Structure formats: structure tokens, C-alpha cells
Structure 1
Amino acid sequence: MNRLASIEIFVAVVESGSFAAAAEKLGIVRSVASRRVKWLEEQLQARLLHRTTRSVALTPAGLQFYRKVREGLGSIRDAEMELHAKRDEATGKLVAGVPMSFGLMHVLPALASFRLSHPNIELEIVFDDAKSDLVKSGIDVSLRISELADSSMVARRLATIRHAIVASPAYLAARGIPLEPPDLGKHDCLVYTMKPQPQRWQFTRADTESVVSVRGGISANNSLAIREILLAGMGISLVPIYLVDQDLRSGALKEVLADWKASDLALSVIYPTRQHVPSTVRAFIAFVEKIVEHSSFSN
């Protein structure tokens, strides 16, 4: 039998005044309560209770034992409550991986609210476009903007990010507006080299598919750099909408070929396990969900 469970039953019997009342309180049958206390007495080789048909009374040995174990059980309950409280209040170190451009444009501007809500979290942000292995890199939770490969990680999709063909008004005035995807072959296309096939741009419209091999004088492995080059009027590019949504609203950039759909990507959060997810990870996920909820870039 479980010694701690038997001690808890003994204490319940003493505090309830009878086996029947203790059994009802604990949700067990009376015979189980009686058998557990009897087993405990055998283990201790001491009689703890005087039993009558209607009540129980502590023996001198039982009184001494009760006083000690009551204090111990109280310490155990306090420790459990403290553990639950710490789990709920989100305390400790958190290493969060975020894509560079999304992190700088959308996570960092909202970071003050996160710190205000969770002052006891020590947050380390790892700007990670390389999609590092979480366990090997010591990352607790990570945002990914890509189609996720099968893995042992837990993944939660937060939003769908569409892509758009954009350029500055000055560039379009000088080079002309492409009306169909093949027209992009005549343009200076800015290529983001972190994509699997960076120079292959694919579009669909209704039942029609168009695949264009693009070229241009500039390529980069950072989408913020692509955005700056677009704003400078030096080319046209296929970019995730979160990168340029403010520029499109202000008119600094213009979308073209809007009736053609480019590939969508998932904005997902991944973390190592579904079991006992730390409160720090849960707090960060809720933080990013709020960013997405108030955004204008997700479908």
C-alpha cells in the first residue's frame, strides 16, 4: 500500500471524527479507509486509534504521530500550491526564436506590452532565419514562416501569410506595370535567396498556373534588405505581405498582378513537447496570437 495515502486517510479520520465521514470526504468506501489505517498501524507497530462503533479516539502514540504528520502534510500541500502558482505566473528564462524580419517589424514593437504583462520572464530573442534545431540550440519556442517538415515538434498554425508582387511607384513609372506573370521576365526582380527555389516564382489564377524564371541584378538573404531596395525603386519582388503591409497602405509601394495568387505560407509556433508546457512558453504563444489578431497581414 501507499504509505503517504494511508497517512492522509489517517489524518482525515482524526479530523472528521469517524471512518465513515473521512471516507465520504475522500471519495472512498469506509472499508478501504479502515483497511488503510490498520495497515499503517501494522507498519508502525503502534496502535493509533481507539475504535468504537460510532467514533474514534487517538491513542497517546496516535496523538504524537498525528501532530507530526499533519505538519508534514501541510508542507507538502504548500509546496504543491507554490509549484502551481509559479507555473501560472510565468517566471523564469525563455529563449524564443523568431524570423529576422517578422521579429523586427512585428514582435519588437509589441515587446513592451509583453514585459508589462510578464515582468518575471527573462526573455532572450534569437533571430533565426535558418530554422535551427530547437533542442540543440536551446530554444524553448520558435516562430516559423514556412511549410513545416514532419518532426517531433509540436506545431500550432497561427495565421496564413500571402505573398504579393510589389514595387515602388517610381520603379513602375520607369519600367512599366507587368500585366501577366511572364512580363516579370523583363523586370529587375529582387530575389530572396533563403527560399528553396528563389528564382522560380509560381502563380495561379482560377485553373491557370504560371511559372516564371526571374532574374535581376540584386539578391539578398534578408527580406528587410529586399524591402529597402524596393523602397529605393531599384526593382520588383515577390514578398510576404507582413513585410510591406504598411508600405502598401501608405502608397510607398504598389501591388501588381493582384489577380494572380502566389504561394501562401503558414505562420506557426513550434515547441518541443505537448506535455507540461512551461508557463513561459504559453505566455509567449498568447503574446504572438495577440499580435496576429490585431494585424492586417494575415488571411
Structure 2
Amino acid sequence: MMNNQLNRIQTFIAVVDCGSFTRAAERLLISKAMTSIHVKRLEESLNVPLLVRNSRGVALTEAGQLLYNEFSEIFINIQSSLDNVAEQYLSLSGTLHITSTIEFGDRFLLPLIGEFCKIHPQLNVSYNAGSALNDLISDRLDLAIRLGVLRDSSLKSRKIADFKIYLVASPDWLEKNKLETVNDLKDVDWIANSNLQTPTHWELNHSTLPSIDIRAKARFNANSSTSIKTMAIAGFGVTVLPEWMIETELQSGNLVRLFPEYSLPKQPVTIVFPNGHQIQRKCRVFIDYLIDKLKL
């Protein structure tokens, strides 16, 4: 009975606010006939007329005015409370567990995480810097950001950006190891990133000449791009590194780009998440944010 009466009062208030039964019905998504029935039943239950129909629409009786004054603000407060509950549910909360490589995290990810947390003040972040692609579930990680083609292609992932990579070596190394043609790269020492699917297998593309397939052997393997850059600057061999990571070294001359007339395929920035788990809303919102804001 109480629910019926509340529905009738809500319909009555809508009629007063809209100024007609037709517009009230449209707002409430019910028929005009049902709108009239609700108001009529409300009047019968109170044993007093609430509305008077006239050529301009409807007018309140004294009792109708009293009822409207008593309940209109109550229903506004109820709707406001419902909106607040919905907003709390939609806003991000809890803890987002993220891992990323140290270099990419420091340069790009951490500033974006900071801005994201300003937008969602109830959200906490647990950040783990590292290159290993661990078991996300056992490590309680929601998302892992990784660079390049992943070794394990079965992982559930989504590409969010691409970046350029360059073939480089130090001036000291180039003085001791003369590279006459691109094919000479097959027979020199390489510094390889062990996180990549094919760390010493690269396709070099030219705008007019045929592509060249390079398959080399690594003398030094590392899972850290910073370590790889350090060894390249030290003159240990040839390597491939992201453009954004060696801009300063190229400008200073500590590293030299090799065969710039050839390009290497762009590499993906990939977000990996646990297999078999429906991705949480906080993760989806964060991924969409990264796609929108990440500029390499």
C-alpha cells in the first residue's frame, strides 16, 4: 500500500511540475491514462480534490498545494540521495595494482598516474617497477605495462600506443668495428633485450630498396633498457633502443644512429592483464585514460 501511495504522490508532483498530465506521463514513461488514474486514486485515498483541470492545464487546490509543499522537497532529496549513491558506485575506489618497466614508468606512466588519481581521489595505487612479466594473479597485479612484442602471445593484452626504435652504437665501438653495409650487422656483437620475443632478429626497411632481415647473436643480454643503454655507451656492441630513451645521447654524440636510411618496425606499448578474469571497471577506465593521454 505504501509503495502504491508513494508512486501516486510522485505522479501528482510530476503533473504539477510539468503543468499537464501529458508531459508528466512522458517524464515518468507511463501512459497518460495511468497518470490520471494515479492522481484520481490519490485523491480518493485522501478524500479531497488536489487538482483542478482548466483550459491552461491544471491548478492546485488548497489541499493540493499543501500536499505539494510537504512532499516535493522530500522527493527532491530522495533523488539527490539516489544520485549520490550512484555516483559513489561509479567513482573509482580501492587500489589499482600496476607494474611497468622502470624507464617507461618514470618517463611517462607515473606522471599520468598522478593526474589520474587527482580525477579519482578515492583511488589508491600500488606501483611495482620491474621488467619481468610475472604471474599477475599470484603477484596480485591488475595491470602490467610492457614494451615491444611480448614473448608470451597468449597473454590477455591491449595495445595502447606505438613508439619508434633506433639501431645505435657508441662512437668508440664504431671506430673499432667498421660497418660498410647493413649486412655487416649480422657478424658483430649485439646487446639484446631478453624481454623481447626476438631480441636479435630485426627487419630493416628502406623506402626504395628491399627489406633486409638481420639475425645476429647476442654477446650481452639484459632485461633492463637502462642497462642496455649503459653497455652501448660503454662500447660493448650494437643494440636497439626506443627513440624517446636516447634523445639526449644522440644529441650529445654518446650514441650514434646506424643506417638511418633504414627504419625498424614500430614497437607496441601493451597493457597485460590476468587471463580468465573479467577486467575491473577501474582498470578499464585507467586504460582508456592512458590511450587518450599517452603521447610518445
What TM-score results when the alignment is normalised by the length of structure 1? 0.70
How big is each residue's C-alpha offset from its partner over 1:121-156, in whole Å with a ceiling of 9 and x where there is no partner? 433223354456767765455534345858776x46
Root-mean-square deviation (CA), in Å?
4.5
How big is each residue's C-alpha offset from its partner over 1:161-188, in whole Å with a ceiling of 9 and x where there is no partner? 1221101112112222x23332123322
Instruction: Please say if residues 167 and 231 of structure 1, whose CA atoms lie closer than 8 Å, have aligned partners that are also in contact.
Output: yes
Q: 1:204 maps to which residue?
A: 205
The one-letter code sitting in structure 2 at the alignment partner of 1:46 is: S
Q: 1:46 maps to which residue?
A: 45
How big is each residue's C-alpha offset from its partner over 1:84-135, in whole Å with a ceiling of 9 and x where there is no partner? 48857x6653333323331134334x36963895582433223354456767
Q: 2:164 maps to which residue?
A: 162
SS state at 2:97 partner: strand
| 1:252 to partner: Cα distance | 1.6
The one of 266, 269, 280 equivalent to 1:267 is 269
In structure 1, stretches of 5+ residues that fail to align are 293-297
Task: Give the distance between the partners of 2:280 and 2:62, measured in 1 at CA.
Answer: 43
After alignment, is 239-248 or 61-70 more displaced?
A: 61-70
The one of 6, 10, 13 equivalent to 2:12 is 10
Instruction: Please say if residues 94 and 123 of structure 1, whose CA atoms lie closer than 8 Å, have aligned partners that are also in contact.
Output: yes
SS state at 2:98 partner: strand
Q: 2:247 maps to which residue?
A: 245
SS state at 2:96 partner: strand
**How many correspondences in the alignment?**
283
Task: Give the distance between the partners of 2:135 and 2:173, measured in 1 at CA.
Answer: 40
CA gap 1:267/1:123 in 2 versus in 1, 3 angstroms: same
In structure 2, stretches of 5+ residues that fail to align are none
Q: Does 2:81 match 1:78?
A: yes
Instruction: Please say if residues 13 and 68 of structure 2, whose CA atoms lie closer than 8 Å, have aligned partners that are also in contact.
Output: no
Q: 2:102 maps to which residue?
A: 100
Instruction: Please say if residues 98 and 143 of structure 2, whose CA atoms lie closer than 8 Å, have aligned partners that are also in contact.
Output: yes
Q: Percent identity?
A: 20
| 1:48 to partner: Cα distance | 7.5
| 1:266 to partner: Cα distance | 2.1
Instruction: Please say if residues 171 and 234 of structure 1, whose CA atoms lie closer than 8 Å, have aligned partners that are also in contact.
Output: yes
Instruction: Please say if residues 165 and 255 of structure 1, whose CA atoms lie closer than 8 Å, have aligned partners that are also in contact.
Output: yes
| 1:28 to partner: Cα distance | 6.3
CA gap 1:72/1:270 in 2 versus in 1, 3 angstroms: farther
Superposed, which structure 2 residues align to 1:135-214 within 5 Å?
138-147=140-149, 155=158, 157-158=160-161, 160-176=162-178, 178-205=179-206, 206=208, 208-214=210-216
Instruction: Please say if residues 193 and 221 of structure 2, whose CA atoms lie closer than 8 Å, have aligned partners that are also in contact.
Output: yes
Q: 2:21 maps to which residue?
A: 19
CA gap 1:291/1:248 in 2 versus in 1, 3 angstroms: farther
